[in-house]
């Protein structure tokens, strides 16, 4: 977090600030390029008991999202599962930014039309467009494909151009994605969205690479299990992803109220940042008396 945010917390979120003052923090840092996803996505995969054999956690997201999607697919490949997701790439003078599907307010009819058009572009490639719903397309990348592909959320955390330069995508995949994006740019659905001053869905990304047996328990049971024990508050996720600190601060009071209403139930708190997860555990009564109430500021704005 930006260090300047420290001054706003006591006023915007007094209950949350009190928790910071009365809890001790332990930090787990992440190398984002090595795991290929955000710490929040890493957390979701851990909750689902995903076993990342090579450390590249993003491979598990394809199957995690495919099975948790509100509309399941009619078929699944026997090998690794990959998804295609639509988003919006916004070009600036010196960089490009990525806005995720969940931020775009797209109608189901819009994405269905876009996927139907994109489907034909796979015909002359080594990859197969298997199925789609309004949220994702299911892609078969072939038995020999094993290239690490980061999650769209990770691509949205910084300059999209920088991420692309680091990726060194296989030639066939890069050519396909370029063709998809050119097709999306001129698509009537996106032209209509621009006329309404809505962001077009002009970007597509493929990610995933895990198999169902990489999860240690059935995914249908995982969600039920974690909902009974965990309160997840993710209202700050997208503002934090884009470093939109104005929206982040404006959202704090509602989260503070939510935390206060569940205060008696809280046993442990995990704060998920750009490249770390901070676990807060309550201080003992004696420790809380002698603690400096500003100790939390020592780790709040740390960077790796």
Return d(Cα 87, Cα 122) in angstroms, integer.
19
pLDDT for 221 equals: 44
Return d(Cα 91, Cα 118) in angstroms, integer.
22
The pair of three-digit structure tokens given for residue 214, joined into one six-digit string: 């990489």
Pick the closest to residue 33 from 203, 207, 186, 150 (CA basis). Answer: 150
Q: What are 230-266's pLDDT values in tens digits? A: 788 899 999 998 888 899 999 999 999 998 888 777 7
Locate all alpha helices (DSSP H) within the chain, ordered by sequence: 9-12, 14-21, 32-35, 39-47, 59-68, 108-119, 152-155, 160-167, 171-185, 188-195, 219-227, 237-241, 245-261, 285-290, 297-300
pLDDT for 34 equals: 94
CB 252 within 8 A of CB 1: no
User: Residues 6 or more apart from 194 whose CB is under 8 A from it?
Assistant: 200
- Give the SS3 label for residue 99: strand
pLDDT for 225 equals: 43
pLDDT for 130 equals: 93
The pair of three-digit structure tokens given for residue 37, joined into one six-digit string: 């996803």
pLDDT for 70 equals: 61
Return d(Cα 220, Cα 63) in angstroms, integer.
12
pLDDT for 112 equals: 96
pLDDT for 268 equals: 81
Pick the closest to residue 152 from 167, 142, 133 (CA basis). Answer: 167
The pair of three-digit structure tokens given for residue 94, joined into one six-digit string: 């010196």
- Tell me whether residue 246 is exposed, middle or buried, using C-beta atoms within 10 angstroms of its C-beta: 0 to 12, 13 to 18, 19 or more: exposed
Residue with tokens 């299911």: 138
Beta partners for 67? none
DSSP readout, 259-294? Answer: HHHTGGG-S-EEEE-SSEEEEEEEPPHHHHHHS-TT
Pick the closest to residue 206 from 115, 267, 117 (CA basis). Answer: 115
pLDDT for 264 equals: 78
Which residues of the chain are modeled with pLDDT < 70? Answer: 1-3, 69-71, 93, 216-229, 288-290, 303-304
pTM above 0.85, yes or no: yes
- Name the residue ranges covered by the structural domains of the chain: 3-22+232-265+283-300, 34-214
């Amino acid at each position: 977090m930006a260090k300047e945010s420290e001054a706003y917390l006591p006023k915007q979120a007094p209950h949350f600030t009190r928790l910071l003052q009365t809890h001790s923090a332990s930090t787990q840092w992440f190398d984002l390029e090595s795991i290929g996803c955000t710490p929040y996505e890493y957390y979701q995969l851990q909750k689902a008991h995903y076993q990342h054999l090579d450390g590249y956690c993003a491979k598990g997201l394809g199957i995690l999202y495919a099975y948790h999607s509100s509309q399941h697919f009619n078929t699944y490949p026997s090998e690794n599962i990959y998804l295609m997701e639509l988003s919006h790439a916004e070009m600036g003078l010196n960089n490009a930014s990525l806005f995720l599907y969940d931020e775009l307010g797209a109608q189901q009819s819009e994405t269905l039309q876009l996927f139907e058009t994109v489907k034909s572009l796979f015909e002359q490639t080594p990859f197969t467009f298997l199925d789609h719903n309004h949220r994702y397309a299911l892609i078969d990348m072939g038995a020999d494909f094993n290239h690490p592909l980061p999650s769209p959320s990770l691509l949205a955390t910084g300059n999209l151009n920088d991420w692309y330069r680091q990726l060194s995508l296989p030639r066939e995949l890069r050519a396909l994605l370029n063709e998809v994006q050119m097709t999306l740019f001129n698509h009537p659905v996106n032209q209509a969205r621009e006329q309404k001053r809505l962001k077009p869905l002009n970007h597509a990304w493929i990610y995933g690479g895990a198999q169902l047996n990489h999860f240690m328990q059935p995914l249908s049971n995982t969600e039920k299990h974690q909902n009974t024990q965990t309160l997840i508050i993710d209202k700050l996720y997208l503002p934090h992803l884009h470093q939109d600190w104005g929206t982040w601060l404006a959202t704090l009071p509602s989260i503070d109220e939510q935390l206060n209403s569940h205060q008696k139930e809280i046993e442990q708190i995990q704060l998920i940042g750009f490249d770390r997860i901070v676990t807060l555990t309550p201080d003992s009564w004696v420790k809380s008396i002698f603690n400096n109430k500003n100790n939390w500021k020592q780790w709040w704005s740390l960077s790796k």
